[in-house]
Each structure stands twice: as C-alpha cells, then as structure tokens.
Homo-oligomer: A and B are copies of this chain.
C-alpha cells in the first residue's frame, strides 16, 4: 500500500513518514500544497494524509482539485484547528476521515487501516481468503490458523493482493503500490516475491494470468477451469 503524506511541518512530516513506513506502507512526503496536488494527480496512491494548513495551496483546495480531476483515493484530513465548521467543509470537499492535532499515531494508523479496508470493499478488520488470513493490525498472516512468517516485502505483496482478491493485478500495479517513487522498472523482484509467497502459503493460491498479472483466489471455492 502506498500513501501520500502532505504536511509542511518538517518534524511532523518525518515522524508520520517513519510511523507509516514502520507499519509497512510505501510513503511519499510532499512539503506543500502544490507538490501534494501534483503527486496525488500523477502517482497511484492507495490513500492520502492531508494537512489543512499548507503553504502555497490550502489543503481543502488540493482536495477539491483532486476530486474535480476524478481522483477518488481515500483522504484523511489533518489539522491543528478544531473548529467543526472547517471539519465539515473538509468532509464536503470529499474527505473520508478527519483527525485533529495533536493525535496519537496509533489512532492515525487505525483510521487508515479502516479506510483502506472499506475502500477495498471489506468490512472486517482481518482480510480473509478461504483459510488464509491477514491481520492488518498486527501485520501477520496465517493459513488455517497456522501463523506464517513473512518478510516485510512479502507481507506488502500479500496485503495488496488480499485487498484486491479475485481481481487480476498487473505486475506494474503491484510495483507501483509497493515501492515509493523511484524504482527500477525492469527487474524481476516481484516474481521472486511471488515465488517465495507461493512456497509459504501454498502455490495454488496465487494464479498467474500470463501477460496480464497475478490473481489471488480461494482454491477451495474456485475450481480451476481446465
């Protein structure tokens, strides 16, 4: 999952970036409204954390422009001001959630998890696909109750696939959502991760659609045609 943070305070920005990266997200940080607007329009983020008081371009304006451009990524708004009229303005500009400074990092993470979950169409806190489970809070996976030991990047790949289970996910999309901006495009890292994942969770769970991408399925529910 790839998150855009738009925050002008360098300290808070760094702190947020660190916390999110620690939680397993790929993070880009924009220090002002203009750059935030540009990044949000050009890069495929799964969610954005947006400060309201920003230099160059206000947070609400950024959000409005994203929405006007058809961007429907979930946005969590952040602000020092706690007057409810501004919260409401933020919401009606198209924000999905709102957090008032100061806040506890845990709560930001929890709200972000809920947002990502809901966006992917899942209500449950734990993602499930047959007897494969991913606990997004603890960042742990299990098959049939048996915990599986995953590395950070293996977890990211699996997590993204779980959020889009049943769908064909192109390799390029996987790359874009797992790494932040600069990444060597022609590399077979993803294939290696897929291979290692298959060995850990069972090889019949991740299908490869040749020329299209990968697809996560529940092998019990879905009989493989042919």
Contact = CB atoms under 8 A, between A and B. Distances in A.
A123 B148 contact: no
A153 B212 CA distance: 10
A40 interface: no
Which of A73, A88, A98, A148 has the most C-beta atoms of chain B within 10 angstroms of its own C-beta?
Answer: A88
B121 A72 contact: yes
Contact of A168 (B140, B212, B226): B140
A95 to B, nearest CB: 7
A114 interface: yes
Given A118-B74, A123-B73, A148 B225 contact: yes
A192 interface: no
Given A71-B123, A111-B91, A168-B139, A211 B152 contact: yes
Nearest to A95: B114
Interface string A33-46: 00000000000000
A137 B137 CA distance: 27
Contacts of A56: none
B87 A107 contact: yes
B110 A88 contact: yes
Interface residues of A, number: 55
Nearest to A67: B124
Interface string A67-80: 10001111000000
A211 B137 contact: no
A84 interface: yes
The 4 closest A-B pairs by CB, nearest first: A72-B123, A152-B211, A91-B110, A139-B168
Contacts of A153: 211
B139 A212 contact: yes
A146 interface: yes
A14 interface: no
A171 interface: no
